[in-house]
Amino acid sequence: MSAVTAAKRVSTPQIRARKGGEPIVCLTAYTTQMARWLDPHVDLLLVGDSLGMVVYGFDSTLPVTLDMMIAHGSAVMRGAAHACVIVDLPFGSYQASPEQAFHSAARIMSETGASGVKLEGGEVMAETVRYLVQRGIPVCAHVGLMPQAVNVAGGFKATGRSDEEARQVTRDAEAMAEAGAFAVVLEGTLEPVAAAITRSVSIPTIGIGASPACDGQILVSEDVFGLFSDFTPRFVKRYADLGGKISEAAAAYSADVKARRFPAMEHCFLPKSGGQSRP
């Protein structure tokens, strides 16, 4: 990466400085081409472990490996010149100890060139976040609905509905801010609770199914563009139906091939006029 390109990229301190300011625009990306399309329009690209469901067809994010995240993180970095790129630490790659988290995060940082990592967990992960930050690894936290804890939670359910849940997600967000995270994703959190957390913590909150009051918003790009039709969460606003257009285009291609309308002569390599030249 050239010095000029590096200088243009949004940094994690710049993201943190946006607290209470202009909303932070975030989307997911898993491939080079998607990163190229999104890069001019967003502040942060997240290489989320949601790729397990969106790209690989898993039922959850749990089967995603560190090698998968590194491969897709590297692909996104090749397509993004402006956005801050953050890569998820997948399930099982950081929970055992701060040392395990450091080794996993260090691999991501060194092998992808990304600006930081994201991990799920609140109070119980505060020591790990502090350990990483003190060793030069920027961390974006993730609290509220945590997909990697789906089996403990009993499914993908919004949190903050009871007073105790509201207190817990608030404590989690505050613990992440105190530990040194530069931002915190609030997922699937009751709107008043997310708004109150945004007012109380010193770092930007990035909402997904949370509140308009959050300092930024993130969605899975495939949901936004209509490329993932298996399930659309209620908090997603679809801005296009590209999946439908792809299906229509595939049907038109199929019809042309079957009717021998494609390929036509203009799609073929033809001999030069005058016949073949002699060696």
> Are the beta carbons of 88 and 69 closer than 8 angstroms?
yes
- Residue 187 designated active-site: yes
Q: Find the helix packing angle between 163-179 and 126-134, rounded to 10°.
A: 20
Binding residues for Mg(2+): 49, 88, 120
Q: Report how far Cα 138 is from the mean position of its chain's Cα atoms.
A: 16
Binding residues: 49-50, 88, 118, 120
Residues making up the binding site for 3-methyl-2-oxobutanoate:
49-50, 88, 118
Which of these is catalytic: 187, 191, 248, 266? 187
Element (H, E) at 75: helix 66-79
How many CB atoms within 10 Å of residue 173?
29
CA atoms within 13 A on the CB side of 72: 26
Provide the CB-side half-sphere exposure for 67 (13 A, CA): 1
Angle between helices 98-112 and 126-134 (to 10 degrees): 50
Residue that has been written with the tokens 């039709």 in this structure: 229
What's the number of CA atoms in the CB half-sphere (13 Å) around residue 69?
32
Nearest Cα residue to 198 out of 185, 218, 214 = 214
Catalytic residue annotation: 187
